[in-house]
Amino acid sequence: MSMKNQKMIYVVGTPDYTGALLVHKLVKAGHKVKASKKLLYRNDMDQGHSNVGPDCGAILIEVEDGFYDKEKIKKTILGCNFVIYLPQQFNHDSYKTDYDAFTTLVDIAQACGIERFIYVLRNSEYSELFIEYLKSRELDNLIVMVVDVSEIYGNASKQKLGIPVATFTQRGTVWQKMSLYASKQKKTRRLDMDNRLYANCGSDINDIYVDGLTELYLCLSGQPLKEIQKKTWPDIMTYRFLLDRFSFVFKLFKMLKKPYVPLRVKFFFQSIKRLFDVSCMLFLVHFWPEQAYRFSVRKLLPSKDMRYRLIDRPIIPFEVIESKTSDIPRMKEANIVLRGTSFKSEQLEELDSPIFLASFWEPVKTKKDVTYIVSDVKNAFRLAKLGCKVIYLETNLMDDNGCFFPDRGCCGKQLIEESTCRRIALVKKVFDPTKPSPGWAPTGGLSYIGVLYHFAEKINVYGWDFYLESSPDTMNYWQLLSNMYKLKLDLTRSRSHLEMATITFYYAYHLSKLPNVNIYGHMGQLGKHEKLIGKLERVLFNV
């Protein structure tokens, strides 16, 4: 976005999922945003709509909640171009106070030269009072837009919903109506959240309309008034929302508009080849495990020359580099929580400290004193800036001279120098380090458990499911073998899911046998699958 089109927008109102998503989209579109902390850092944002963080590349200003102090309102509004007032919950006892605060907000906005005031109308018996006040103002220097979302509440079955939009100017009122469309898959959008520890979204606007509404607010904030007042604008917006809501139609439209996309063709053939390699690896795991590595194109499974001998196999395939690790005291007992379906948010309150949340990308709403342990530098910076306790897990490789260096080209040195968070430096010992190897072994959540094992006499592990939807105890050999591979996760991520599962399943089985490790997730229920574990052992080690 050019500097000319960039706006400073003040978002005020109920801090629900809709507001948090709106702030995220405004910042992503390149606008400067002022909003309360509750709207900036919601705990319920999923991976597709992550919280607004310091790495967004746009200006984001945190302001205090509420708008009852005139001086604070004036200080906040100064410099803003637009104000977006999100739905408020009024009742018989409080509406008068809220009405007075609202009129004060409108008066100060007009006095400070706000160009556009977007008011989101809620289904309430007192809403008309607010609308009448907006109409009564001399709108010579303030454009007021009203979005009526009253119909949305309690209409979950509708797939098409009309949204009236009114524009108040000095020349009169222009009423327009467009349609929001919702497909069936949008109803389950939040059920796809990978982590159940996040708080409920708290918005009574139906999920299937949330994305469409935030896009509408974004358009009202960014488009010129002349465009919005055109007779064709509702039709254009309805057409746009139709494409956005139905992913199949949207993809078809893009393919027709640009039918030849080399990268997609390349991705298609790479996916076919990957599926062939995975099929061969699964076949060989059962019939000839020692040769399964041949179809791991990225060499993520050790060849015969790269493997440890079984008698030399390390119990924990990670070694801590003391010289690069922060001073972390040894604990008698530690609780590690990973992101899995077998662990629910209520259970977190039942655990005793210390509690380590492994590979969490967003803060979790809890009263417990928790520490986040992550392996991504940017995520470590962001969580630390939000006031969370963070341990950065730095994976190192060893060069020919025996010196260690980070395997991702960046290290946690700056984190330590700025005292942002603590660091644990480690070396993976899945491949024999004395033999030529690719250096990187996909271990996933295993690395967090393996490293903390060095700092605690006893470890309790929760939520370690490795994407299994049910317990291995309920599966036979063939079912578990087929569940080692997840097509969607593999093709859309690093194409290493089967190799990671091979390493994870094997070490999870052996960790669950240790007297000082208790695994309460699905990875702790592999006891009856000695046959499969034996085959995985032949994949990883020279027996």
pLDDT digits (tens, 9 = 90+) for 421-453: 888 888 888 887 666 555 578 888 899 998 999
In this structure, the answer to whether residues 339 and 470 fall within a common structural domain is yes
In this structure, the answer to whether residues 229 and 306 fall within a common structural domain is no
537 — pLDDT class (breaks 50, 70, 90): very high
With respect to residue 269, please indicate whether it lies within any of the assigned structural domains.
no
Range of the structural domain that residue 46 is part of: 8-254
264 — pLDDT class (breaks 50, 70, 90): low
Reply yes or no on whether the pLDDT at 393 is more than 80. yes
Smallest Cα–Cα separation from 39: which of 81, 84, 92? 84
In this structure, the answer to whether residues 365 and 220 fall within a common structural domain is no
Smallest Cα–Cα separation from 430: which of 418, 421, 417, 439? 439
- Count of domains in the chain? 2
With respect to residue 272, please indicate whether it lies within any of the assigned structural domains.
no
Report CA dihedral (258, 259, 262, 266) to the nearest 10 degrees: 130
Q: Could you give the CA distance from residue 304 to residue 307 in angstroms, rounded to a whole number? A: 6
Give the model's pLDDT for residue 503: 92
Smallest Cα–Cα separation from 508: which of 494, 525, 491, 493? 525
Reply yes or no on whether the pLDDT at 346 is more than 70. yes
Helix (H, G, I), strand (E, B) or coil at 374: strand
Given 254, 285, 318, the domain boundary residue is: 254
In this structure, the answer to whether residues 242 and 313 fall within a common structural domain is no
Reply yes or no on whether the pLDDT at 323 is more than 60. yes
Q: Could you give the CA distance from residue 94 to residue 196 in angstroms, rounded to a whole number? A: 34
247 — pLDDT class (breaks 50, 70, 90): low
Reply yes or no on whether the pLDDT at 91 is more than 90. no
Percent of the chain scored above 70 by pLDDT?
Answer: 72
Strand stretches in 65-201, DSSP E: 82-85, 116-121, 143-148, 160-169, 172-181
Reply yes or no on whether the pLDDT at 282 is more than 80. yes
Evaluate the CA torsion angle 402, 404, 408, 410 in order and state its sign.
negative
In this structure, the answer to whether residues 436 and 329 fall within a common structural domain is yes
In this structure, the answer to whether residues 229 and 312 fall within a common structural domain is no
Lowest pLDDT segment from 13-27, 131-145, 203-217, 385-399: 203-217
Q: What is the pLDDT of residues 65-80, one digit of tens each?
A: 556 678 888 888 888 8
Given 188, 219, 254, the domain boundary residue is: 254
With respect to residue 273, please indicate whether it lies within any of the assigned structural domains.
no
With respect to residue 284, please indicate whether it lies within any of the assigned structural domains.
no
In this structure, the answer to whether residues 333 and 411 fall within a common structural domain is yes
Give the model's pLDDT for residue 188: 36
Reply yes or no on whether the pLDDT at 148 is more than 90. no
Reply yes or no on whether the pLDDT at 190 is more than 50. no
> What CATH number does the domain containing 225 carry?
3.40.50
**Which residue type sits at 458?**
K
- Element spanning 2, H or E: none
261 — pLDDT class (breaks 50, 70, 90): low
Q: What is the pLDDT of residues 452-472, one digit of tens each?
A: 999 999 999 999 999 888 899
In this structure, the answer to whether residues 249 and 339 fall within a common structural domain is no
| Residue bearing the bigger pLDDT, 197 or 117 | 117
Evaluate the CA torsion angle 373, 378, 381, 384 in order and state its sign.
negative
In this structure, the answer to whether residues 380 and 314 fall within a common structural domain is yes
359 — pLDDT class (breaks 50, 70, 90): confident
In this structure, the answer to whether residues 220 and 303 fall within a common structural domain is no
Smallest Cα–Cα separation from 193: which of 380, 366, 344? 344
- Element spanning 467, H or E: none
For residue 46, CA distances in Å to 16, 19, 352, 362, 382 come to 14, 14, 27, 9, 16
What letter would DSSP give residue 506?
H
Given 188, 223, 254, the domain boundary residue is: 254
With respect to residue 83, please indicate whether it lies within any of the assigned structural domains.
yes
* Phi, psi angles (nearest 5°) of residue 360: -90, 135
Q: Could you give the CA distance from residue 519 to residue 468 in angstroms, rounded to a whole number? A: 15
In this structure, the answer to whether residues 99 and 220 fall within a common structural domain is yes
With respect to residue 89, please indicate whether it lies within any of the assigned structural domains.
yes
Q: Could you give the CA distance from residue 325 to residue 439 in angstroms, rounded to a whole number? A: 20
Q: Which residues pair with 83 in a beta bridge?
A: 10, 117
Query: Counting Cβ atoms within 10 Å, is residue 330 exposed (0-12), middle (13-18) or buried (19+)?
Result: exposed
In this structure, the answer to whether residues 28 and 104 fall within a common structural domain is yes
Q: CA geometry: angle at 463 spanning 335 and 429, to 5°?
A: 75
